[in-house]
Amino acid sequence: MRLIHQVSLALFALVLLGSTAEAQTPAGWEPAKNTPPANWPGPVFEPSFKFPTSIPAEDTQPWKAFDFKTEPNEYMEAVLDYVFEGQDPDSWRVQDNSVRKWYHVPWMVSHGNGREFIHGLTRERSTPAGDLGSNHRRCTQAWGVGFYNPIGGYTLGKVFGDGTSPPDVSEATFLPGTVVAKILFTEAIAQETDIVTGAPEWEVNINARQPVNARSCPRASNPRTRAKLRLFQLDVGVRDTDADEFTGWVFGTFIYDPASTQTNPWRKLRAVGLMWGNDNDLSDADAQNGQMPEESIILYKADLLRDFGRGGRMNGPVDNPVSSCLSCHSTAMFPQRAGMTPRRNDGWDRASCWFRNLNPTEPFGRPPSNTRACGQSTGGLRSLDYSLQLSRALINYSAAQPFLAELNAIPNKLDAPFIDVNRQLNDLTLDDEEPIYDVQR
């Protein structure tokens, strides 16, 4: 790690010496993967990268008035109110928030699923046909954008600075009070699922369906085109000291509820549930015998009538069902040496490795194998404190450094080539049947 850091500093110095224009956008800090066409009339995404350089003055933490284990609804509503406070939900220009600014993660542009130019959305796991009900007969894309509150933005600043020096992964530990939210939009229409009836729509620039009526998931390498997406879900992560003996985080999600009595359609979001731990003791067999997780609470299943996460654990309706929110996010590390989920057919003996309650600084480690036990091999790996945007950003950063590619070519220097990790991540993020590779690579 040290070596990488020094080499990369040297490289950056060279780049700086060689550059002439001062106000250039630092590499990886471009707003989106592609630029708007010349006469584009609509809104254009501008990222919020002016990170606080000192710890922001104490912010209110209204959710702290509630116990997430016994008052999960109240806790989630308090977080949701905080996310919406001062926000113009039609634009979500988080830097214009009148109460507190929120911040985006840099280096989320160059991969196949990188930010689109209208709202800064990145492509998420596609939703296989049938997952949103019996009328949902085609695979639909899901796209989302995440942002951190000021105290989270402070940590982003410690990691990324102003973009003129290499990211410092040793700073990737968030302070208590950090909140990160992600809004998620679906390609599905009301005829396919009642869930999005009346939901706010955004025009975005996403992967074209090719051929036009294809039922399969559009590849990330397909050209991007204008399309409308509908609000579907809002995810939150809260760094809460009350969860310290578990993971340190409370992760939860809301889904659009057409029957909500709220008048503002953006506020028709209903809490699905939350989790603060992975219930490592709850095996697949236990769950089949009716045992319930104790570190997840499910509040609402949106008429989808199935478990969203493994063994009844908390997960989103369009997330990978072999996983859970905190399971997938626990793998965030640098370098990203493990896939985000167990393999689809892994039994509990291997899969249980993905359901540990790691503390924020504990790296997931290399995945278990015939010769390697779970959690045994963490040398050279750093935890990214449950942030998968940081993981993706650092993969993109690494892929852009020629010297890292060279290091990768030297056997045993690093355990596995970055390119494999990129592929594995993309495979898992999207559809297992249709692997989508980084177009960049």
Q: How far is the CB of 6 from ligand HEC (least distance, A)?
A: 28
Query: Is 421 near ligand HEC (CB under 6 A)?
Result: no
Q: Residues with Cβ < 8 Å from 323, sequence gap 6 or more? A: 309, 310, 315, 340, 341, 342, 354
CB atoms closer than 10 angstroms to residue 283:
18
Considering only 283, 389, 401, 426, the residue that binds ligand HEC (CB under 6 A) is 389
Please choose, out of 66-74, 126-134, 321-329, 395-403, the segment that lies near ligand HEC by the rule CB under 6 A: 321-329
d(CA 186, CA 37): 24
CA pair distance 199, 233, nearest whole angstrom: 10
Residues 299/258, Cβ–Cβ less than 8 Å: no
Neighbour tally for 2: CB within 10 Å = 6
Q: Are 249 and 326 in contact (CB under 8 A)?
A: yes
Regarding 97 and contact with ligand HEC (CB under 6 A), the answer is: no
Q: Which stretch binds ligand HEC (CB under 6 A): 33-41, 62-70, 254-262, 318-326?
A: 318-326
Residue pair 354/366 in contact (Cβ under 8 Å)? The answer is no
Closer to ligand HEC at the Cβ: 164 or 222? 222
Cβ–Cβ under 8 Å, residues 31 and 45: yes
In the complex, the smallest distance separating the C-beta of residue 153 from ligand HEC, rounded to whole angstroms, is 13
Tokens read off for 387: 């942030």
Site map (CB under 6 A) of ligand HEC, residues 121-160, x = contact: -x---------------------x-x--------------
Residue 40 structure tokens = 């584009």
Look at residues 229, 232, 183, 204 and name the one whose alpha carbon lies nearest to residue 84.
183
DSSP states of 44-65: ---------SSPPP----GGGG
Q: In this chain, which of 224, 230, 382, 392 binds ligand HEC, going by CB under 6 A?
A: 392
Which residue, among 40, 58, 160, has the nearest Cα to 105 in the 3D structure? 160
Mark the segment that binds ligand HEC (CB under 6 A) among 87-95, 280-288, 290-298, 311-319.
311-319
Q: Does 341 bind ligand HEC (CB under 6 A)?
A: yes
Of the candidate residues 47, 106, 157, 237, the single one contacting ligand HEC (CB under 6 A): 237
User: Any contact of residue 328 with ligand HEC (CB under 6 A)?
Assistant: yes
Report 8-67 residues binding ligand HEC (CB under 6 A): none
The answer to whether 355 contacts ligand HEC (rule: CB under 6 A) is no
Residue 354, CB half-sphere, CA atoms under 13 Å: how many? 27
CB of 239 to ligand HEC, least distance (A): 11
426 near ligand HEC, judged by CB under 6 A: no
**Site residues for ligand HEC, window 238-297 (CB under 6 A)?**
251-253
Residue among 320, 352, 396, 408 that touches ligand HEC (CB under 6 A):
320
Contact 104, 118 (CB under 8 A): no
Applying CB under 6 A, which residues contact ligand HEC? 122, 144, 146, 180, 182, 235-237, 251-253, 315-316, 319-320, 323, 325, 328-329, 340-341, 387-389, 392, 429
